[in-house]
Amino acid sequence: MAESIYISREGLEKLKKDLEELKNVKRKEIIKRIEIAKDLGDLSENAEYTDAKDEQAFIEGKILDMEDTINNAIVLDEKRNTGTVDIGSTIKVSVDGGQREFTIVGSSESIPEKGLISNESPLGRAFLGR
């Protein structure tokens, strides 16, 4: 059974856009690089070909991961007020005499330095349900 991935509507749309870019642009670019590298001769000693094939494998893996994320995404409801901290909640916390604002997000959208903390992180788990 696949693991559910929590994501905002904006995050899901960005992921879909990035996926289309990989499929329709990057994939075609790497195919051209492979064709050009093949024309250079002996493939066993062709660094260009090896590099292009490695990049192709990376891109294909990334496409599979992104498709898996999209297929298992649970889009977060925005601005819901349940009285407890849940994924999608924005909270204010007193830190060192000041206040910091955190938003609990799915792991794929986590950017701690911007206050977006993963529901799977120790800090995120500590806030959930409070």
DSSP-derived secondary structure letter, 26: I
Q: Supply 129's token pair.
A: 């349900």
pLDDT by residue for the chain (130 residues), tens only, comes to: 567 788 888 889 999 999 999 999 999 999 999 998 888 777 777 788 889 999 999 999 999 999 999 999 888 766 666 778 888 888 888 888 889 899 888 888 888 899 889 888 998 888 888 8
Q: What is the pLDDT of residue 81?
A: 66
Contact 33, 52 (CB under 8 A): yes
pLDDT of residue 47: 84
Q: What is the pTM of this model?
A: 0.72
What whole-number distance in Å separates Cα of residue 9 and Cα of residue 77? Answer: 8
DSSP string, 38-73: HTTS-GGG-HHHHHHHHHHHHHHHHHHHHHHHHHTE
What is the pLDDT, as a whole number, of residue 63? Answer: 96
Please report the pLDDT score of residue 18 as a whole number: 95
pLDDT confidence of residue 79: 60
Closest to 61 in 3D by CA, of 30, 85, 33, 107: 30
The whole-number pLDDT of residue 128 equals 86
